[in-house]
């Protein structure tokens, strides 16, 4: 058993990670400021002796005793991270400094949940870990992109300067139950619009691509990464290499949900990447991992979750 800290633990990914860690017999401290996280995501764990929930913002220091740290704290969808871009950058940068300082003090292994956004609008396809990216440093998405890039810099400098035991994963588009219904991400957008019978908003001509990884697959890779040999730091791409156009995704959601919705086109947002697909050769080699859940199967689970939210009046 390990004492494990999960920052952003009441969010979409963090809450599923807490489930997995508790089920594996660990003692879990879930920390969240509830900007995008929700207590309902971890309500079923409250009252357990091996789970603790703490309201805390990682931009402030945290003094706890733990063996391992999963640093997931940061709003991850454009609608949320652009709401307060300065705070988004502070969460990535100050949050990394505070969690790295904690890990250094207690000699904990620490994993950073980085993002495919560090590649920006890439000129290399698919994206490999040795690609440095093509990122606009002053655009509307820069608070998130550059914040995560700086967090990676801090992680590797702590590793080099203080011999800190770090792990870094770069997460590509992930979806599944417990996504925020109003997070503005393409999967949740399409599902919520279809369930409401509204037009499905497709930005641009719909030929831009993404690769969608189901949450269970992603967490398996993240847990394997945390358990890799000391000295293997990453970064490692975690995502599904099967590429879909936005129009293919919209049509699939329409078929699975049914109803009167139709597809309408809107202008492409600023700095929106045209292609996003991970090269996961390193994950296959080092983690013996590849995604197993097909997009249609994962969408069925996600749609069922949103139907329950609507039935409870949470996402109305």
The least confident of 152-166, 178-192, 279-293 is: 178-192
**Residue 206 in domain:** no
Give residue 203's pLDDT.
85
pTM: 0.93
Q: Does 235 sit behind a cis peptide bond, omega within 30 degrees of 0 on the bond before it?
A: yes
Q: Do the domain assignments include residue 303?
A: no
The total number of structural domains in the chain stands at 1
- Banded pLDDT at 313 (limits 50, 70, 90): confident
For this structure, is 144 an active site residue?
Answer: yes
Q: How many CA atoms lie within 13 A of 46 on its CB side?
A: 9
Residue 163 lies in a domain: yes
**Whether the Cβ atoms of residue 257 and residue 195 lie closer than 8 Å to each other:** yes
Q: Which range marks the domain in which residue 151 is found?
A: 3-175+212-241+277-292
Catalytic residue among 81, 144, 158, 214: 144
Per-residue model confidence as pLDDT tens digits over 102-143: 999 999 999 999 999 999 888 888 999 999 999 999 988 888
Cα–Cα distance measured from residue 97 to residue 59, given in angstroms and rounded to the nearest whole number = 9
User: What pLDDT, on a 0 to 100 scale, did the predictor assign at position 312?
Assistant: 85
316, pLDDT greater than 60: no
Residue 234 domain-assigned?
yes
SS (H, E, C) 180-198: CCCCCCHHHHHHHHHHCCC
* Residue count (the chain): 316
Instruction: Provide mean pLDDT across the span 171-194.
Output: 92
Q: What is the pLDDT of residues 138-162, one digit of tens each?
A: 988 888 899 999 999 999 999 999 9
| Residue 198, domain member (yes or no) | no
CATH number where 69 lies: 3.40.50.720
Task: Tell me the C-alpha distance between 314 and 248, whole Å.
Answer: 28
Which of these, 31, 15, 142, 35, lies nearest to 80 by C-alpha position?
35
pLDDT in tens, 50-86: 999 999 999 999 999 999 999 999 987 677 778 889 9
Query: What is the 8-class DSSP label of residue 35?
Result: S
């Amino acid at each position: 058993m390990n004492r494990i800290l999960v920052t952003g633990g009441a969010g979409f990914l963090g809450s599923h990670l807490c489930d997995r860690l508790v089920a594996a017999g660990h003692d879990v401290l879930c920390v969240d400021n509830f900007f995008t996280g929700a207590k309902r995501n971890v309500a079923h764990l409250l009252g357990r002796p091996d789970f603790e929930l703490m309201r805390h913002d990682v931009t402030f220091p945290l003094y706890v005793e733990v063996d391992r740290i999963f640093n997931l704290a940061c709003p991850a969808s454009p609608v949320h991270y652009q709401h307060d871009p300065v705070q988004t950058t502070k969460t990535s940068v100050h949050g990394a400094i505070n969690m790295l300082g904690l890990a250094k003090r207690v000699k904990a292994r620490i994993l950073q949940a980085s993002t495919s956004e560090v590649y920006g609008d890439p000129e290399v396809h698919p994206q490999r870990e040795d690609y440095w990216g093509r990122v606009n440093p002053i655009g509307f998405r820069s608070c998130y992109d550059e914040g995560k890039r700086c967090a990676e810099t801090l992680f590797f400098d702590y590793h080099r300067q203080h011999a800190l035991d770090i792990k870094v994963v770069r997460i590509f588009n992930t979806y599944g139950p417990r996504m925020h219904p109003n997070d503005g991400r393409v999967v949740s957008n399409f599902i919520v619009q279809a369930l409401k019978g509204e037009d499905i908003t497709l930005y641009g001509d719909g030929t831009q691509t993404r690769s969608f990884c189901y949450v269970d697959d992603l967490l398996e890779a993240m847990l394997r990464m945390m358990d890799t040999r000391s000295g293997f730091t990453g970064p490692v791409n975690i995502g599904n290499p099967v590429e879909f156009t936005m129009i293919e995704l919209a049509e699939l959601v329409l078929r699975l949900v049914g109803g009167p919705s139709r597809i309408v086109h809107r202008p492409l947002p600023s700095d929106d990447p045209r292609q996003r697909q991970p090269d996961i050769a390193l994950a296959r080699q080092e983690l013996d991992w590849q995604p197993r859940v097909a997009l249609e199967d994962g969408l069925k689970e996600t749609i069922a979750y949103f139907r329950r939210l609507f039935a409870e009046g949470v996402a109305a």
